[in-house]
Chains A and B, each alone.
Chain A
Amino acid sequence: MARARAKERSEGRRRKGDRKVRVLVGKPGLDGHDRGAKIIARALRDAGFEVIYTGLHQTPEMIVNAAVQEDVDAIGLSILSGAHNYLFPKVVELLKGKKMGNVVVFGGGIIPDGDIPGLRKKGVDRIFTPGTSLSEIVEYVNKRIRARA
Chain B
Amino acid sequence: MSMTATTEGAAVRPRLRWGLPAYVVLVLVAMTLALVVPKTGYVLNISLQATTYAIAVLGLTIVLGLCGQINLAQAAFFGLGAYAVGIGQTEYGVNFWVCLLLGTCMAAGFGALLGASTLRLGGHYLAMVTISFQQIVTLVLINWIPVTKGPDGVRAIPRPGFLADGSTYLAFCIFMLALLGFLVWKLRDTRLGRAMRAVRDNELAAGVAGIDVYRTKVTAFALSAVLGGIGGALFAGGFSYVSPDQFSFAESVVFLTMVLLGGVASPIGAAIGTGLLILIPEWLRFLKSIPGLYLAIYGAAVILIVLFMPDGIWGFVRNQFDRFKRAAGSVLGGDTLQLSGGGTGSDMVMEVRGLSKHFGGLKAVDEVDLTIRRGGVHALIGPNGSGKTTTLNVLSGLYRATSGTIMLNGRDVTNLPPHARTAAGLGRTFQNIRLWRSMTALENVMVGAERPGNPVGGDSAALLARSRAALAFVGLEDRADEVVANFSYGHQRAVEIARALAGDPALLLLDEPGAGLNSSEKVELRDLLKRISARGLTILIIDHDMTLVSEVAQHITVLNFGRRIADGYSADVLKHPDVIAAYLGTAPDVAA
Question: Do A and B share a complex?
Answer: no
Interface residues in chain A, defined as those with a beta carbon under 8 Å from any beta carbon in chain B? none
